[in-house]
């Protein structure tokens, strides 16, 4: 047996040992993770599909209370084209909506109505505070105006401005879509508001 044949024989033995080690490791991995791995892959992928569907089909419930509502209506027209983001179908019924856009100042008398409409929305649901008045009371720092809608319902996205333009609201919708995709497949825990 020559030197070349001996080297080829040693090389073949090493390759066979390497194949056996890889097969043993794969068998051990498969035995350890087979059920759990496939279950987690299935639920993760299903959660991502559900998140994608929710992200691209936001149906806002209009809750326009002041000047911000004009900008919210402008966002739905053809110039700004909210249909690109799946949010052009404004619903008059809270039972058909999953996004509440609170645009404008919320008075103390209107707060229970806002809470009632929020409670009538099906899960999962999201809330946007549009403008300075709904976010923190704005210039109305008095007893008649709620100093932030987050004292009544949990808020997911704040859109700043007085009033914010349609482009700011579209940016808020994009941020909400990112949040929905990041939470996809995980149970939502909503902060309870008094």
Question: What is the CB neighbour count within 10 angstroms for residue 184?
Answer: 18
CA 108 – CA 157 distance, rounded (Å): 22
pLDDT at 192 (0 to 100): 55
Tens-binned pLDDT, residue by residue, of the chain (194 aa): 577 777 777 778 887 887 787 778 777 766 665 555 555 555 566 667 777 766 677 888 877 888 888 888 888 777 777 777 777 778 788 888 888 999 888 999 999 999 999 999 888 888 999 988 888 888 888 888 899 899 999 999 999 888 888 888 889 988 988 888 887 655 555 555 55
Which residues are registered as beta bridge partners of 158?
A: 129
The three-point CA angle 128-134-139 to 5° equals 150
Are the C-beta atoms of 154 and 190 separated by less than 8 Å?
yes
Distance CA 79, CA 74 (A): 8
Q: Where are the chain's structural domains?
A: 56-183
* Per-residue model confidence (pLDDT) at position 32: 63
Q: Is the separation of the CB atoms in 66 and 104 below 8 Å?
A: yes
User: What's the pLDDT score for residue 188?
Assistant: 59
pLDDT of residue 154: 93
What is the structure's pLDDT at 194?
A: 52
CATH architecture of the domain with range 56-183: 3-Layer(aba) Sandwich (3.40)
């Amino acid at each position: 047996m020559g030197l070349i044949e001996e080297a080829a024989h040693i090389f073949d033995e090493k390759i066979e040992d390497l194949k056996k080690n890889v097969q043993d490791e794969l068998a051990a991995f498969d035995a350890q993770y087979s059920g759990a791995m496939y279950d987690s892959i299935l639920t993760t992928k299903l959660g991502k599909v559900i998140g994608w569907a929710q992200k691209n089909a936001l149906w806002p419930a209009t809750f326009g209370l002041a000047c911000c509502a004009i900008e919210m209506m402008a966002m739905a027209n053809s110039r700004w084209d909210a249909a690109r983001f799946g949010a052009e179908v404004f619903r008059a019924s809270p039972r058909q909506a999953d996004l509440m856009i609170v645009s404008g100042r919320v008075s103390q008398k209107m707060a229970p109505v806002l809470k009632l409409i929020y409670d009538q929305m099906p899960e999962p649901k999201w809330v946007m505070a549009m403008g300075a008045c709904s976010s923190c009371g704005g210039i109305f720092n008095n007893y008649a105006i709620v100093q932030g809608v987050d004292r009544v319902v949990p808020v997911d996205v704040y859109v700043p401005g007085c009033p914010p333009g349609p482009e700011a609201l579209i940016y808020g919708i994009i941020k909400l879509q990112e949040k929905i995709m990041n939470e996809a497949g995980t149970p939502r825990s909503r902060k309870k508001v008094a």
